[in-house]
Structure 1
Amino acid sequence: MKVYYECAPCFLRQAKEALDLATNDESLKMKVMEELVEVVYSSFRRDAVSNVIGTKIHRIIKNKTENEDPYILEKKKGNEIALKYLPKIKEIIKKDDQLETYVKAAIIGNIIDFGALGVDFDIEKGIIQNMEKDIALNHVPELEKELKSAKDVLYLADNNGEIVFDKLLIEKLNEYNTDVTVALKEKPILNDACIEDAVQIGLDEVANLVSTGTDSIGVIYGDMSDEFKEIFSNADILISKGLGNYEGLTEMELGDKPVFCMLNVKCTPIAKDIGVNLGDNVVLKL
């Protein structure tokens, strides 16, 4: 996805929050922010790709502060929130055992996003408000049709905490006799899930786990490992979670592969790009 004008202040808002999490050294924060402002100044152009700029910003923060996981406490908080609401989500699913109900649960998990919404966002309130919400743009029937003939599904995971609800959907996907592989980050960035985070909630019990080979925000084809590029290319269906993956996938040549993006629309640029409203839940076939 190309940047919108609103992306520029969002990059700097995220940079400030990440710096505050990464270090208490005010002098260092100033020095790093000077560099980040320069990055935005030099990179922010009409045809720039949003998750490429975001990735560059967060890598600089990790490198300059020597903090490889600034969001570590937020990731822990995300898991705690997800596990707290898991029994309630399971109750809803038990009453309506359709694929769409599981997809809704996975999208509700996408609300657990400190990067897009900020570290002060009331995630618990957001989950409650979205539980009974319809999917505004709903390509679940197309997904179900594709699943009936697919052998391999590649599932691009997004945030820690969110993967607790992804596990429910993946268990449902297994009923279609597909081989599900979940892609996670090689190293921490924002509150994105890594393989060790997925193992902690037992995701390895229901799917194959692989690394994208990098720490990019979402997917950036040039950053992927050769091993992951092969997995990416060979999968029959691609299911993508979250904003960063949507931003990256829309800049790739995907061929005839069916690609489904599942997300809660947490920012105006994404809403504009998809053509929906802020706050909508979306299942979009690209």
Structure 2
Amino acid sequence: MKISYECGPCFLRQAREALDLSTDDENLKMEIMGEIFEYLSQNFKSGTNSNSTGSTMHALIKQRTGCADPYHKEKIESNNLALKYLPDVKKILEEDDSLENHVKIAIIGNILDFGAFTLDDDIESVIKNSLKKDLTIKDIVEFENSLKANDKVLYLVDNTGEIVFDKLLLSKIKEYGLDITIAVKSEPILNDACMAEALDAGLDEFGSIVEIGAGTVGYVDSKISDEFREIFNSHKFVISKGMGNYEGLTEIDLSTKEIYFLLCAKCNTISRDIGVNLQDMLLFKK
């Protein structure tokens, strides 16, 4: 997906956050922010790829600060907090074990920023209230048909914390008898799930976990490894979680694939691109 004018302040917000997590050296932060201003002044223009721009910016921060994983602590805490609520979510699903509810739970995982919650927050109410909302785009019939018609699926995960809720949808997918391949980032980027966090969350219970060969914001086709490209090309049926993967995958030809996007539209640029309202919950086939 291409950047909009609203991506500018978002890039700068992310840069500030990553810098604060990477170093306490105020002079270094000033230097790096100046370099980011220079980079954006040259590259922030219509037609620029949003994922590639963000990836370059975060790579610069990691290289200049020497901090390879600024969000390491936050990722661990997000997974641990989500795991504490997993039994409660399972109880909710016992009341309605439908495929649609499992999809909603996976999307609610995309809504919840576990890094911003504490054990004192009423996450259960957030979950229950979100479950009452209907999916704005609900290609659930097509989705179930794909589950029945295919023997394997590639599942592209998004953030830590969120991946714990993905387990419930992965468990439901298993009931359809599919072999599941779960794709994670190869290198740390933001709070995205890498191999360590996926294993910590127990995703290996449901399928084989593979790395995409890159540590990019979302999916950047030019950066994935040859090994992952083989895996991607060999899967007709793909499930994509989150906005970053949507931004990247919609840049390439998907005409030969049955690809479903599960996400919450959390920014205006994404909302406009899809044609929905802010905070809408979506399951749609592209």
Residue number in structure 1 paired with 2:64: 64
Residue number in structure 2 paired with 1:228: 228
- 1:42 and 2:42 correspond: yes
Contact 1:111 1:126 in 2 (8 A): no
Contact 1:219 1:248 in 2 (8 A): yes
Q: Distance in 2 between matches of 1:94 and 1:6?
A: 41
Q: Distance in 2 between matches of 1:168 and 1:274?
A: 26
Residue number in structure 2 paired with 1:133: 133
Q: Distance in 1 between matches of 2:186 and 2:132?
A: 34
- 1:99 and 2:99 correspond: yes
Contact 1:78 1:112 in 2 (8 A): no
Percent identity of paired positions between Structure 1 and Structure 2 = 50
Residue number in structure 1 paired with 2:142: 142
Residue 181 of structure 1: SS of its match in structure 2?
strand
Whichever residue aligns with residue 57 of structure 2, its letter is I
Whichever residue aligns with residue 203 of structure 1, its letter is L
Residue number in structure 1 paired with 2:12: 12
Gapped regions of structure 2 (runs ≥ 5):
none
Contact 2:83 2:201 in 1 (8 A): no
Whichever residue aligns with residue 44 of structure 1, its letter is F
Q: How far off is 1:187 after superposition? A: 1.0
Contact 1:160 1:192 in 2 (8 A): yes
Residue number in structure 1 paired with 2:269: 269
Q: Distance in 1 between matches of 2:62 and 2:129?
A: 34
Residue number in structure 2 paired with 1:253: 253
Contact 2:184 2:212 in 1 (8 A): yes
Residue 209 of structure 1: SS of its match in structure 2?
strand
Contact 2:179 2:207 in 1 (8 A): yes
Contact 2:219 2:245 in 1 (8 A): yes
Contact 1:111 1:127 in 2 (8 A): no
Q: Distance in 2 between matches of 1:126 and 1:21?
A: 28
Q: Distance in 2 between matches of 1:57 and 1:248?
A: 16
* 4+ residue segments displaced more than 6 Å: none
Q: How far off is 1:77 after superposition? A: 2.5
- 1:81 and 2:81 correspond: yes
Residue 149 of structure 2: SS of its match in structure 1?
coil
How many residues were matched structurally?
282
Q: Distance in 2 between matches of 1:126 and 1:93?
A: 15
Q: Distance in 1 between matches of 2:117 and 2:134?
A: 22
Contact 2:101 2:131 in 1 (8 A): no
| Residues 145-189 of structure 1: CA deviation (Å, up to 9, x unaligned) | 111110120000000111101111111111111111000010110
Q: Distance in 1 between matches of 2:63 and 2:112?
A: 25
Q: Distance in 1 between matches of 2:106 and 2:228?
A: 23
Residue 193 of structure 2: SS of its match in structure 1?
coil
Q: Distance in 1 between matches of 2:163 and 2:92?
A: 18
Q: How far off is 1:12 after superposition? A: 0.6
Q: How far off is 1:120 after superposition? A: 5.5
Contact 1:113 1:159 in 2 (8 A): no
Q: How far off is 1:273 after superposition? A: 0.8
Contact 2:239 2:260 in 1 (8 A): yes
Whichever residue aligns with residue 173 of structure 1, its letter is I
The 1:229–1:28 alpha-carbon spacing in structure 2 relative to 1, beyond 3 Å, is same
Q: How far off is 1:131 after superposition? A: 3.5
